[in-house]
């Protein structure tokens, strides 16, 4: 069983761009929707992702917060394209930038399309109590806010958020 321990932050400014050492275009979609998760009809999201020239099928348990079960399986890119056509909601397009900071690799997701304007940074940790240095460009933590989860962005993209939501006011 895979466990993902991840913290998520809104990105402030562009200072992270200079430190990015790699970027990968990503397109992803979900075979189930947020409503099924919220109602408890599904206990895991089922995601299809094409990242550069690789593709993956991913299942992630529905808990909010930094620790969830995660299963990630490589699949043929042609299969992923066919599965993306079966997804519910919209596709999530983004560029993932990899930024090294204080011994960790941060993944900075710069969203495109209906989610353009949203930039979120994630750090995966070996344990929930692992200390890490937060870079100046990592703003408010949104780990526990489901609207920043990619599944939620596929259902209700950033373009549909109210001005208060866009400003990060909860």
What gap in Å lies between CA 59 and CA 137, rounded to an integer?
Answer: 30
Catalytic residue list contains 148: no
Per annotation, catalytic residue among 30, 73, 98, 148: 30
In a 3-state reduction of DSSP, which class is residue 46? strand
Backbone angle region of 146, left / alpha / beta, with phi > 0 → left and psi within -120 to 50 → alpha: alpha
What gap in Å lies between CA 19 and CA 99, rounded to an integer?
Answer: 6
- Catalytic center residues: 30
């Amino acid at each position: 069983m895979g466990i993902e321990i991840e913290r998520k932050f809104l990105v402030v400014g562009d200072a992270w761009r200079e430190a990015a050492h790699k970027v990968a275009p990503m397109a992803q979609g979900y075979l189930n929707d947020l409503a099924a998760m919220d109602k408890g009809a599904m206990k895991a999201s089922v995601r299809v992702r094409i990242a550069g020239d690789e593709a993956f099928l991913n299942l992630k348990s529905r808990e909010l917060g930094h620790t969830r079960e995660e299963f990630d399986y490589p699949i043929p890119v042609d299969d992923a394209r066919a599965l993306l056509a079966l997804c519910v909601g919209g596709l999530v397009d983004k560029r993932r930038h990899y930024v090294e900071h204080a011994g960790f690799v941060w993944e900075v997701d710069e969203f495109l399309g209906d989610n353009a304007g949203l930039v979120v940074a994630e750090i995966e940790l070996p344990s929930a109590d692992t200390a890490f240095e937060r870079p100046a460009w990592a703003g408010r933590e949104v780990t526990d806010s489901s609207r920043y989860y990619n599944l939620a962005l596929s259902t209700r993209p950033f373009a549909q958020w109210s001005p208060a939501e866009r400003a990060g006011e909860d």
